[in-house]
Structure 1
Amino acid sequence: MGHFGFSDVGLVFMLMLIVPNLIWTKYQPEEYDFKDENKVLLVFERVGQVGVTGAALVFSDFNIHGWPGWSFWLIAAFVLMILYECWWIRYFKSNRTWKDFYSSFYGIPVAGAILPVVAFFFLGIYGRVSWLIVSVIIFGIGHIGIHLQHRREMQ
């Protein structure tokens, strides 16, 4: 279930997620339009965001306590978040079009949506916190679903 307490690792992951998104608000694709997003997917995304944020920060199970074999999951999660940051750098250096925003990265489709979802899922496995795992699944359904919807519209 998880042990209550502040998570430094969760904070680092949240900052890696939030900072580029805040910068993006000033550099959105010109043709970006969120008015037609599927309302059900949007509810999943919002509920999942709240759950992921809360779980990542309030369970100390994500903090590093020694270096057991289980740490593979933390390393995998962190590598995915580094790839997510690299994807953002590529986006910010691009022409910042829809095509750039919903692009693949190293063969990962809609990488801007998939990379953080899988990274937080792995973080949940590492910490053995079911609250994060469930929240990230809910978030992923909405977030990845919305990105796929926009990508289909783009094509």
Structure 2
Amino acid sequence: MLGSLGFSYVGLIYLLMLFIPNIIWSKNQPIDYNNVQENKILLSFERVGEVCCTCSVLIFSDFNLASFSTWSLWLIVSFLLMLLYEICWIRYFINEHTEENFYRSFCGIPVPLASLPVTAFLLLGVYGKVIWLIASVIILGIGHIGIHIQHLKIKK
């Protein structure tokens, strides 16, 4: 449950799936982006969670592919959520770059650009049985999803 130290190529793939769209977004932010003063507590949770998740997902080899078992379903669902996350980014990039498009739900999933990767990383932690990632994702989720909800409420 503590994790086996070693490089995780699966973790690297997840981080690339996470960071590449965010880098592109930094150059394509919503035209009506409301750069509100974010809650400092939520922002602290988000930053700590980001650092801890990034480290955890890379330094534990437990996330790498193993022989298929029913436990592998955690990884499959996690990866499917990351694919949905990518679809949400594509949806944002091909449509008008507005906050409405950025925060709109996807198949009933609220704030999908925040909730999908957080859930995917949580399930990756369950798959790898690494408590450090699970704890890190909970911290990240409180901050990241909380900030997205804060922005969504201000938008309305």
TM-aligned CA deviation for residue 31 of structure 1? 2.4
Let me know the Cα RMSD of the aligned residues. Answer: 0.7
- The reply to whether residue 46 of structure 1 matches residue 47 of structure 2 is yes
CA shift digits 1:37-75 (9 cap, x unpaired): 101000000000001100000000000121121000000
Provide the TM-score with structure 2 as the length reference. 0.97
What is the aligned partner in structure 2 of residue 89 from structure 1? 90
Count of residues in correspondence between the two structures: 155
Provide the TM-score with structure 1 as the length reference. 0.98
CA shift digits 1:54-103 (9 cap, x unpaired): 00000000001211210000000000000000000000011110101111
What is the aligned partner in structure 1 of residue 138 from structure 2? 137
Question: What is the one-letter code of the residue matched to 1:65?
Answer: A
Q: Give percent identity, aligned residues only.
A: 57
Moved over 2 A (4+): none
- C-alpha distance in 2, partners of 1:37/1:59? 32
Unaligned runs of 5+ in 2: none
- C-alpha distance in 1, partners of 2:81/2:54? 18
What is the aligned partner in structure 1 of residue 153 from structure 2? 152
Unaligned runs of 5+ in 1: none
